[in-house]
């Protein structure tokens, strides 16, 4: 109400109203969403599917090369939000044919694609780069970076297709990078390099798609307890050292998948209509500065 009041004041004065209040209602109402890396029970992909369903998505494609939990996730979402069409797809996010097929399916069924959340990822080898096999380095780039390139390549033209269901071109491509792409990660050079490339790719794509209605942003989580990091947390719990995990973080804790999913929801929604080409750190402040050590 306060924002509305300020908006009215601006409209009443000679100053042009430079913003309008975002429409109320479900935040991604009617949108068709593709998410890769959606199988993991603790993962960011599944948590995001819940956010999109809760906030009005028309259809969600939950995709992963590991299909072991996808049908269970679909049942779970439909029990909570029966109106959402949930589709499951088992494929490698770096397989161009499969990526194109899922995009084409969304356009064929719904006449629109609104959101591609390119979220699939692997940690890659945790070894010194002097001991790393070139094949392992390349596999990390294939899964983490090539997958984002393919998502943007095929989603962007689909998001520009207009139909009765979507009269003007629009779309949001969100790529999960990492704070390890913003700052080097001593543990894994391949992972850091792959995620830095994701950020650069998202920013370049945002420029190249300027004016088409399609926005591209990179999401950069800090340490989040998910399937990927479960071994770190499990080991720390077994040793009784879990308290140390968040010690260097200003918030003194690791994050939760939901805390990333809520930002993905924002970037997917029209509320973020002026957010483009950004690397959004969602890390409790970890990348904001150096830890203060006396
Ligand atoms: P997760 O392991 O729980 O989920 C990742 C999912 O990606 C899994 O379901 C996995 O099967 C899937 N996947 C892996 N390779 C794939 C491929 N080739 N094709 C399709 N699916 C594939 O981990 P998460 O933390 O939810 O990871 C999601 C994203 O977040 C990843 O890109 C990861 O790099 C990124 N990230 C995670 C953290 C963290 O601390 N957990 C931090 C920064 C960035």
227 Cβ inside 6 Å of ligand 1: yes
Mean pLDDT of 152-165: 95
pTM (two decimals): 0.93
* Other C-beta atoms lying within 10 Å of the C-beta of residue 290: 6
Residue 211's region, left for phi above 0, alpha for psi from -120 to 50, else beta, is left
Residue matched to tokens 């689909």:
158
Predicted confidence at residue 6, as pLDDT, reads 54
Residues forming the active site = 191
Q: Whose CA is closest to atom 10 on ligand 1? A: 37
**Which residues share a beta bridge with 166?**
163
pLDDT at 16 over 50: no
Alpha helices in the chain (DSSP H): 2-12, 44-54, 70-80, 96-110, 134-141, 147-159, 179-182, 189-208, 230-239, 257-268
Helix and strand numbers, DSSP H then E, in the chain:
10, 7
Find the 227 Cα to ligand 1 centroid distance in Å. Answer: 8
* Other C-beta atoms lying within 10 Å of the C-beta of residue 167: 9
Phi first, then psi: give them for residue 93, nearest 5 degrees. -65, -10
> Predicted confidence band at 185 (pLDDT cuts at 50, 70, 90)?
confident
> Predicted confidence band at 15 (pLDDT cuts at 50, 70, 90)?
very low
Which atom of ligand 1 is nearest to 143's Cα? 18
66 Cβ inside 6 Å of ligand 1: yes
Tokens encoding 5:
């009041």
92 Cβ inside 6 Å of ligand 1: yes
Spatial separation of the C-alpha atoms in residues 76 and 95, rounded to whole Å: 28
What percentage of residues in the chain have a pLDDT greater than 70? Answer: 90
Spatial separation of the C-alpha atoms in residues 259 and 51, rounded to whole Å: 10
44 Cβ inside 6 Å of ligand 1: yes
Mean pLDDT of 249-264: 96
pLDDT at 18 over 80: no
Which atom of ligand 1 is nearest to 221's Cα? 43
Find the 40 Cα to ligand 1 centroid distance in Å. Answer: 8
pLDDT at 188 over 60: yes
Render pLDDT for 81-124 as a digit per residue (tens, 0 to 9). 999 999 999 999 999 999 999 999 999 999 999 999 999 999 99
């Amino acid at each position: 109400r306060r924002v509305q009041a300020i908006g009215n004041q601006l409209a009443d004065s000679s100053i042009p109203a430079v913003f309008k209040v975002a429409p109320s209602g479900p935040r991604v109402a009617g949108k068709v969403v593709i998410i890769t890396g959606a199988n993991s029970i603790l993962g960011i992909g599944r948590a995001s599917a819940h956010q999109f369903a809760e906030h009005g998505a028309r259809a969600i494609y939950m995709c992963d090369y590991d299909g072991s939990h996808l049908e269970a996730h679909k049942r779970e979402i439909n029990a909570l939000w029966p109106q959402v069409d949930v589709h499951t797809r088992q494929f490698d996010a770096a397989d161009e044919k499969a990526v194109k097929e899922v995009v084409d399916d969304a356009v064929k069924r719904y006449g629109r694609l609104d959101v591609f959340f390119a979220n699939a990822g692997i940690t890659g080898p945790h070894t010194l780069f002097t001991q790393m096999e070139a094949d392992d380095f390349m596999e990390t780039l294939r899964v983490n970076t090539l997958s984002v390139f393919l998502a943007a390549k095929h989603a962007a033209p689909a998001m520009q297709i207009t139909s009765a269901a979507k009269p003007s071109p629009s779309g949001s491509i969100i790529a999960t990078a990492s704070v390890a792409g913003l700052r080097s990660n001593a543990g894994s050079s391949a992972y850091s390099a792959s995620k830095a490339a994701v950020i650069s790719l998202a920013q370049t794509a945002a420029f190249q798609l300027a004016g088409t209605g399609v926005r591209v942003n990179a999401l950069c989580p800090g340490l989040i307890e998910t399937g990927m990091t479960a071994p770190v947390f499990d080991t720390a719990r077994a040793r009784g050292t879990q308290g140390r995990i968040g010690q260097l973080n200003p918030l003194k804790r690791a994050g939760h998948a939901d805390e990333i999913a809520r930002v993905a929801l924002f970037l997917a929604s029209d509320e973020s209509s002026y957010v483009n080409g950004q690397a959004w750190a969602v890390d409790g402040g970890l990348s904001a500065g150096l830890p203060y050590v006396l």
